[in-house]
Structure 1
Amino acid sequence: MILLLAVACGVAVADVYFPQAISPLVAADLAISPGSAALVATAAQLGYAAGIFLLVPLGDRVPHRPLLVTLLVLTCGGLLIAGAAPSLAVLVAASAATGATTVVPQIVIPMAVGLTAPDRRGAVTGTLLSGLIGGILLARTFSGTVGAWLGWRAPYLVAAGVVLVLALVLAAKVPVTTPPSRQRYPALLAESLRLLRSEPELRRSCFYQATVFAGFSAAWTSVALFVTGPAYGMGAPVVGLIALVGAGSMFCTPVAGRRVDRSGPEPVSLVCLLGAVLSAVVLLGGLARGALGLVALAAGLLLLDIAMQAGQVANQARIFVLRPEARSRLNTAYMTCAFLGGSVGSWLGVRAYRSLGWAGVCTLVAVAAVLALLRHLLRAGGQVAVTADRPEPAAPTPAAR
């Protein structure tokens, strides 16, 4: 069942990410600028953020099986509309709608955590996220390759067929679950906001993921423009191959999950934030061009992928223990912030690339990661200070002895 749910996470989330690799093909076919074509990927992420806020809280209110199947059927319809879109406006609207319904992983992960023993939750979360990562990264390879052979519409149509098959499988295999909440829908939405206000650890995890994901989205949205532009002059399949190298990160999240189960989320968060900063330095090597530049791009994106996804394992482990009865609502607040950060990162990444080139994108990745790292170090320093100020326990008196 965990393997099936991991596949479901990967297939569902792929529909948000595969437009990133085919934006140059969209631009050429619709006779628009590459920057305008990049709006398709940005719209998908904004739609995903909206879907997380509006739909994921239903995971605490509606039985999981009908909810997941309904969302996948709606996703299939959105993909079909996008694949037949006659203009950029229709494509952007369909992309946003598809993103909104492609929130299956954010319902599956809290569901699986609730069905798992506490000492295995990190490992299960890591396994599910490895499926999600595989979907994110292999989606770019799939769309870049299929798009180069059959045009940019083909990935949408193929994805629609795969999603429909997945809906049928989940309808037969997902276990029956009892929702933990009977709150009305408006109360569910309001609860996510209240949790964000009342839980400092939730806010901290949101900040970590929003900043790192902003850098991640900026890099991946811009790398297609960089590789297919004058610096390299290569096609969309090369972007897909770079993404294929990055798929190696899917093997790291189960390891991060087991480490979280043993040591807690804080050491894992620190390593991941340091890795995100280092990835910006490695990505600068892409300015070398040629084979060396491509190796630097692949290595830097792989490191950034690992840092972002393993960091998510730590962040979700941190928030899921706060309110066990409200895991979907906690995940709603967390993932909404994360994808708002990702959407801003995509928007800023294209503008940084236009104004400052690839060096500007790398600077944006570094600044986002450093902000999260400083927040983590300041918290660690504050904890040390509180511990140091805490008075030593008094020695027991002879009578007490």
Structure 2
Amino acid sequence: MNKDNGIMSPSISKGLVFLMAVTCGFTVANVYLNQTLLVSMGNTFHITAAQAGIIATIAQVGYALGNLMLVPLGDIFERRRLILNLLFLVCLCSAASALAMNFPWLVIANLLLGFFTIIPQIIVPFAAGLSKESERGKVLGNVAIGLVCGILGARLISGIVDSHFGWRTMYWITCAATVIIMVLIRFSLPKSKASNTVKYGKLLFSLGPLFLQEKVLRRACLSQGLMFGAFSLFWTTLVFLLSEPPYSYGSQVAGMIGLVGIGGAFATPIIGRIIDSKGANVANMLCMSVSLLAFVLFLTGKLFLIGIIIGALLVTMGTQANQVACQAIIFQLSAEMRSRLNGIYMVMTFLGGALGSYLGVLAWTRFHWIGVCVLGIFMIGIAFTSLVISEKPIQEIDVKS
């Protein structure tokens, strides 16, 4: 019996890990599937694709707010019921998006869809609590496969559905898939017992002091924030590179390269095993080294497309595996505060990604592809240096709420 975090269930099974991974993939996809639907949405409401781009932005804003305001609830509510309630709200928001009669309606529906679709960040600490300490890295790595596949696969699947059936159909498919997942979660996911009775207001006010108090948490946020920032600046500017000579490709080719990145998802279980056997710090350094190698390969991108393709695989492997390594570190801090720790961590990761996208466009505008690559190397280099010079081995400690 696993007593960690008050979970009243046997050790986690492979089937349950698979269900958690699938749930993470289908739900996180809601934040990204709109990115390939923007042109069609613009045509429907007679606006430009650039104006429709606010939908993609607002969905990610909603996701960031959800990580800050909803993820910590996993520390005070029974998690299966919380997940089911959030899935129900996601279902309603997907239907509202499909039924949108005007552009403001669609914007609001996507804001709420992003806000409620933070279910993966409830599931990840849930999975950590269900698993034995000796296999926690492996379990988190397996669950992370679903996250990566959802993020990278959403654009491809939504593009195919849109081209054949229209953008509204994609939201109806999401709605139907969410109902199926609700049924599976209801009958397969064990109940948890929340061990924290903190009121919601006090819970939110505890986030700032928690971030300032925990050096381990701050370093994990810096590490993954910069890694995800470098990841985002690459994917944001890739379409610019491919649209210019010698390639002169459309955005569809960038999407196809994204499929290569899905292969990087399967590095997360490997890094999970390294975490369990060698420690999370070793895993961190390995992940950063892989991403640094990716940006070195990107420097050849003006001449060799194969360098871009291999680099896309490596940067996805490094970034997603590093996320698992950092989560393994912060989850050692407190079983009772894992949702809050994960909420803070994901908000900082998201901010790093937004910063990377913004700086990537600036680097491209002024220095083109060389500037993008140098910036990526610089961001990962800062994260790598902070890890090397700052830390003694992590010991398991108990944080009192």
Tell me the TM-score normalised to structure 2 length: 0.85
Match of 1:337 among 324, 337, 348: 348
Could you tell me which residue of structure 1 aligns to residue 255 of structure 2?
Answer: 240
Residue-pair matches, total? 378
| Partners of 2:370 and 2:41 in 1: CA distance | 25
Counterpart of 1:14 in structure 2: which amino acid?
A: A
List, as ranges, runs of 4+ consecutive aligned residues in structure 1 with deviation greater than 6 Å: none
Pair 1:281 & 2:292 matched? no
Judge conservation of contact 1:56–1:103 (CA < 8 Å) in 2.
yes
Correspondence 1:247-396 to 2 at 5 A: 247-288=262-303, 292-293=304-305, 295-354=306-365, 356-379=367-390
Unaligned runs of 5+ in 1: 385-401
Match of 1:201 among 216, 219, 229: 216
Moved more, 220-229 or 321-330: 220-229
Task: Answer with 1 or 2: which has the greater Rg.
Answer: 1
- Label 1:36 to 1:241 Cα distance change in 2 as closer, same or farther (>3 A): same
| Partners of 1:22 and 1:252 in 2: CA distance | 29
How far is the alpha carbon of 1:112 from its aligned partner? Answer: 1.5
* Partner SS state of residue 77, structure 2: coil
Judge conservation of contact 1:210–1:341 (CA < 8 Å) in 2.
yes
Could you tell me which residue of structure 2 aligns to residue 160 of structure 1?
Answer: 175
Counterpart of 2:234 in structure 1: which amino acid?
A: A
Counterpart of 1:208 in structure 2: which amino acid?
A: S
* Partner SS state of residue 182, structure 1: coil
Match of 2:29 among 2, 11, 14: 14
How far is the alpha carbon of 1:374 from its aligned partner? Answer: 2.1
Judge conservation of contact 1:148–1:237 (CA < 8 Å) in 2.
no
| Partners of 1:76 and 1:66 in 2: CA distance | 15
How far is the alpha carbon of 1:57 from its aligned partner? Answer: 0.8
Deviations 1:314-353 (A, max 9, x none): 1011111111211111111111111122223334434544
| Partners of 2:247 and 2:177 in 1: CA distance | 33
How far is the alpha carbon of 1:228 from its aligned partner? Answer: 5.8
Correspondence 1:126-137 to 2 at 5 A: 126-137=141-152
Deviations 1:227-253 (A, max 9, x none): 467875545543332222111112111
How far is the alpha carbon of 1:122 from its aligned partner? Answer: 0.8
Percent identity between the two aligned chains: 37
Judge conservation of contact 1:83–1:154 (CA < 8 Å) in 2.
yes
Could you tell me which residue of structure 1 aligns to residue 159 of structure 2?
Answer: 144
Could you tell me which residue of structure 2 aligns to residue 64 of structure 1?
Answer: 79
CA RMSD in angstroms comes to 2.6
Tell me the TM-score normalised to structure 1 length: 0.85
How far is the alpha carbon of 1:356 from its aligned partner? Answer: 4.6
| Partners of 1:233 and 1:80 in 2: CA distance | 38
Counterpart of 1:269 in structure 2: which amino acid?
A: N
| Partners of 1:305 and 1:80 in 2: CA distance | 32
| Partners of 1:319 and 1:152 in 2: CA distance | 39
| Partners of 1:83 and 1:350 in 2: CA distance | 32
